[in-house]
Amino acid sequence: MFKIPISVIILTFNEERNITSCLESLSNHFDEIFLVDSGSTDKTIEIANNYSVNIIEHPFENYSTQRNWAFENLPLRNQWILNMDADHRLTREIVIELQQKFQQDIPPSINGMLSSRKTLFMGKWIKYGGHYPTYHAVIFRKGKGSCEDKLYDQHFKVEGEVIKLKGDIIDLITESLSTFTLRHDKWSTLEALQQFNKIDKTQGTINGSLIDGNPIAKRRYYKNIYERFPLFVRPAVYFFIRYFLRLGFLDGKRGLIFHFLQCFWFRFLIDAKIYELRKTRDENQ
């Protein structure tokens, strides 16, 4: 059986509910799989030991640091890297597509591959509201890609030309509404700190652009515009655009829950935390 010559890297921490399905979507298809765990106390490692997986433990500082540490320190034997999280699954279509591509010669000018995420929320594919297709540079040549040095909303930055894959990666965005809100509460703190401190690291990050044809750069361009809008106004405008103008209402009741929480509540919470940080700063001056 042909094994795709890609080294897969999965980051985990207490992912016993997700890791089996993730590994099942990868198992027997790829040359090697690395699981970088940051001290799981559940059955994540026990489950992973049932698969042909190289398990490495490394303390977690933040997502970017963990990813970039893995790129620099894991004994990867392949030229190509696929980045996965435990709540991601490869579709059969993308596996077949990668098998076909890697059985041929990939032009040396190509350093990365973009795949769209197919978000599942409460068991439903979120198809509208501008949420699909959303491309991410999940595959790149070793030494030609890195994770942006950001607290939140990190993307993989690839040096050189990238191509789009037709297949999707499934993203199980929540196990439950409680998990969803807890995670987004944590992420809102990171994003609020990033915006409050005006962290702008031009080196190693993706610049916003409408002209280079990169969908990730295009999204970053629009996010930069979003961040210039007044606090508390911008979440309402964003929700209106996503839910009404970009037809998010076609996703039904579960779509309403998702688009409201992800487009309005989450971003309103970020603004509230930025407001709190500014208020605390002003009181201490």
Interatomic CA distance for residues 84 and 157, integer angstroms: 15
Q: Per-domain residue ranges for the chain?
A: 4-172, 177-284
E strand or H helix that includes residue 111: strand 110-121
CATH for 4-172, among 3.90.550.10, 1.10.10.10, 3.30.200.20, 3.90.180.10? Answer: 3.90.550.10
- Give the amino acid at 172: L
- Long-range contacts: 251-254, Cβ < 8 Å, 24+? 251/124, 251/126, 251/127, 251/128, 251/129, 252/124, 254/121, 254/122, 254/123, 254/124
pTM for the whole structure: 0.94
From first to last of its 285 residues, what are the pLDDT tens digits of the chain? 799 999 999 999 999 999 999 999 998 999 999 999 999 999 999 999 999 999 999 999 999 999 999 999 999 999 999 999 999 999 999 999 999 999 998 999 999 999 999 999 999 999 999 999 999 999 999 999 999 999 999 999 999 999 999 999 999 988 799 999 999 999 999 999 999 998 655 556 888 888 877 899 999 999 999 999 999 999 999 999 999 999 999 999 999 999 999 999 999 999 999 999 999 999 998
Strand pairing partners for 172? 120
CB atoms within 10 A of CB 52: 12
- Give the amino acid at 249: F
- Cα–chain center distance at 219: 13
Range list of H helices, the chain: 19-26, 44-48, 63-73, 92-102, 177-196, 215-226, 233-240, 252-259, 266-284
CB within 8 A of 223, min separation 6: which ones?
153, 208
Say if CB 146 and CB 64 are below 8 A apart. no
